[in-house]
Amino acid sequence: MATLNVVSSMFHLNASKTQWRNNKRIADRSRLSRFENPILIKMEVEYGA
């Protein structure tokens, strides 16, 4: 069961990083600076991406 938890949390972290990249791509496309997009900064702080 412990192994399943590790795999699950790794998957969750990878999903979060993917979401962060998608958010960043959207922000780049709309020409927002990182300072104008608190969600990106929050994701960057939480996941160190």
What tens digit of pLDDT does each residue of 1-49 get?
A: 567 667 667 676 677 778 878 877 777 766 655 556 677 667 667 776 4
* pLDDT at position 23: 78
Task: Residue 41: give the domain boundaries.
Answer: 2-47
User: Which one, of 25, 23, 20, 11, lies nearest residue 44 by Cα?
Assistant: 20
* pLDDT at position 30: 64
User: What is the count of structural domains for the chain?
Assistant: 1
* pLDDT at position 20: 79
**Ramachandran region, residue 32 (left: φ > 0; alpha: ψ -120 to 50; beta: rest):** beta
* pLDDT at position 32: 56
* pLDDT at position 34: 55
